[in-house]
A and B are shown apart, each in its own frame.
Chain A
Amino acid sequence: MNPGDDQDRSAVHYKHTTLSGWGHFPALDCDLYRPEKVSELAEIVTGNSSSVIARGSGRAYGDAAVNGGNRVACLTRLSRMLAFDAESGILRCEAGVTLGEIIEVFMRRGFFPAVVPGTRFVTVGGAIAADIHGKSHHRDSSFGAHVKSFTLMLASGEIRRCTREENSDLFWATLGGMGLTGVIMEAEIVLRRVESAWLQGETVVASNIDEAIEAFERFDPIYDNSVAWIDCLSKGSALGRSALDVGSFAAPDGLPSSKRQQPFRISHPRRPTVPFNFPAFTLSGPMVRTFNSAIYINYRRSAGHKLFDYESFFFPLDSIGNWNRIYGRRGFVQYQCVWPLAESRAGLIETLEAITNTGRGSFLAVLKKFGQQQGMLSFPIPGYTLALDFPVADGLMEFLERLDAMVLSRGGRVYLAKDARMRAETFAAMYPKLAEWQQVKVSADPSNRFSSSLARRIGLSPQ
């Protein structure tokens, strides 16, 4: 049906626009709403029978918060912080609050989100829907592990509170449920106490994949956070050469005296911005190879113990506005997968070899070891995860399907918040709790009011 038919009946206006995720692919026409009041959200959800998906900052890479030919409700204006208890560190806020806002308000009071992804621009609602992970996953698990409760608006407009005890099925189905169980409106999240804005840690260079794995095994028990940049174009004995950044929030007495007085103060350099979509040749094979080598050399030079400010440690790419434009107008596809621990080494080698053989260099490749899983459709399982990005180009989709098959054969899986192209059969085989999730979905949303382009593509809701 044409959702435009309902414009006159509803006082809430929408904008007919082309929407995409952070990867600029795919870009689809949607009717975009942006409620400023809770009552408007209720009107959007209940006032029209065509499907709708909630959207936060639009930082999912693919089509998770895109609903081609249907409706999207952008919740960035429902961003009120409602209560904070300094004793327990519990913040109650609306779904549109970003982690960056939380840091801005609470860092100086000695609190920080327990889990942050690679960008601080994501919203709390998006963080729950994708059950995001961060550099502390081996210790803190995913975002959902620090969510006490949330409220969910169902298709009828009914608001249901979900915790591990109350409506627990809905709780576990919504963590990582990609917004398909209802609209996440408010959440109670537990912030962690920190004593400064600095992380004490080190940079460790690994000259191949085995050394990289060894480094994770050695440093993860010592540090709260770890992540590796991996050069996915080096071959042979240098296959998988990487540089690990590891660190934990520092206590003030661990800081140099110049920083001890104001331990929560860091300088915020001016952010450069990528002004336009770069032309296609920018990320050609030789360019990426040169860039990757330069990074590696730079890391090797700076290896050793160091102090990181939290921004450059957690959010290195946030310092470049619109960095997604370097991939040009056709956009790019992120590919993040994880293998169970026992299969991780073999999976990594196999995938890296496939990449070097085709010369399809990923500009930025990231390696990380995961801890425990949370929700039914949450991505992280214990094992190693690799995140890659590829500019959209001929033959890419076929190549990624080959990677899918390799990941699947080892019991691994691909991350939905980054996916833009996986097949429904592949997805079903990768997520064993899918049937259980679908039961919850059917009872919470029998009319499939909540759907997205991602959901229809991978079979989470009917076509």
Chain B
Amino acid sequence: MRVLILGATSPIARLLAGRFAQDGASLYLAARDSGEAQRIANDLAVRNGVDALSGRFDAADFSSHGEFVQRVVSELGGLDGVVLAFGTLGDEDAAQVAPGAALSTIHQNFTGAVSLLTLLARILETQKHGFFIVIGSVAGDRGRARNYVYGSAKAALHAFTQGLRGRTERSGVHVMTVKLGTVDTRMTWGREGAMLTVSPESAADRIYAAYRRRAEVVYVPWYWRPIMGALKLIPERLFKRTNF
């Protein structure tokens, strides 16, 4: 099996890549910081004895995506699955007052993903097999004053992925949406209000288990489903006054 990991330097992506490597998959690790991607590729190769390639990509550099996808497919000798794990909280404070910063967050989390998923879906659809694991966020379930720019990008990503799932289902390509809660990584380290945090190891294990049973939409960990379910029931008039 040949798997492309987009945004490979996040701890969850690294660990998820490790699960695939343990099962013998060849990997292509792509990230903006190609030096880090290379380190992770080396690590997977040393630990698991698999082939691990790495390279640079920039989610917001749309014009480069076509060539990038071609290169990945040719270096891996084909493609069986994609883990889309890039995304960033960005500078939410700046994003709420400066359109440039807001658009940058949108590109890093949504439009970049749209561009890449569209290109990659064509390949998997044509060959009539493959999978996508798209890492979203519970922040996309309801817009909140604290992080709505990021949240809106993730909400859009969820809807896009949902539609993609319906389209590619007919050609045997499976799409799984992961709605991730707070994980103990640099995104939450030292930030206020990070609660119910789980380790990246536990998150990666749950995502991999969900992938193995071909889940469609999975909350990681599971308890975010009832939490977000309850949160969505709060009337807007009240919700806008809360501190979530």
Q: Which A residues contact B (CB, under 8 angstroms)?
A: 12-16, 32, 34-40, 77, 80-84, 91, 94, 105
Contact = CB atoms under 8 A, between A and B. Distances in A.
B70 interface: no
A13 B191 contact: yes
Contacts of A105: 46-47
Contact of B189 (A34, A39, A84): A34
A38 B35 contact: yes
Contact of A40 (B47, B186, B191): B186
B42 A80 contact: yes
Interface string B184-219: 011001110000000000000000000000000000
B50 to A, nearest CB: 13
B125 interface: no
A12 B9 CA distance: 16
B33 A37 contact: yes
Given A36-B9, A36-B11, A37-B9, A80 B189 contact: no
Contacts of B36: 37-39
Contacts of A38: 35-36, 39
- 9 residue pairs, one from A and one from B, having the closest CB atoms: A13-B190, A80-B43, A15-B190, A81-B46, A80-B39, A82-B42, A14-B190, A84-B46, A81-B43
Most buried by B among A36, A38, A40, A83: A36
A295 B191 CA distance: 48
A83 B46 contact: yes
Contact of A34 (B40, B42, B186, B191): B186
A43 to B, nearest CB: 12
A16 B9 CA distance: 25
Contacts of A34: 186, 189
B33 A81 contact: no
A362 B177 CA distance: 55
Most buried by A among B9, B11, B190: B190
B182 to A, nearest CB: 14
Given A15-B189, A37-B33, A82-B46, 14 more contacts: A12-B186, A14-B189, A14-B190, A32-B190, A34-B189, A36-B11, A36-B185, A36-B186, A37-B9, A37-B36, A38-B39, A40-B186, A84-B46, A94-B39
A40 B186 CA distance: 10
Nearest to A104: B47
A13 B189 contact: yes
A84 B11 CA distance: 22
B189 A81 contact: no
Contacts of A13: 186, 189-191
Contacts of B189: 13-15, 34
Given A13-B189, A37-B33, A81 B9 contact: no
A40 B190 CA distance: 15
A81 B48 CA distance: 11
B191 A81 contact: no
A35 B47 CA distance: 22
16 contacts: A13-B186, A14-B190, A15-B189, A35-B186, A36-B185, A36-B186, A40-B186, A80-B40, A81-B46, A82-B39, A82-B42, A82-B43, A82-B46, A83-B46, A91-B46, A105-B46
A169 B42 CA distance: 30
Contacts of B42: 80-83
Nearest to B9: A37
Nearest to A82: B42
Contacts of B46: 81-84, 91, 105
Nearest to A40: B186
A77 B201 CA distance: 12
B198 to A, nearest CB: 15
Contacts of B186: 12-13, 34-36, 40
A182 to B, nearest CB: 20
Contacts of A40: 186
A305 to B, nearest CB: 36
A98 to B, nearest CB: 13
A22 to B, nearest CB: 20
B159 to A, nearest CB: 30
Nearest to B186: A36
A111 to B, nearest CB: 12
Nearest to A31: B190
A310 to B, nearest CB: 20
Contacts of B35: 38
A13 B194 CA distance: 13
The CB with the most chain A CB atoms within 10 A, among B33, B46, B47, B185, is that of B46
Contact of A77 (B11, B47, B191): B11
B183 to A, nearest CB: 12
Contacts of B185: 36
Contacts of A77: 11
A161 to B, nearest CB: 17
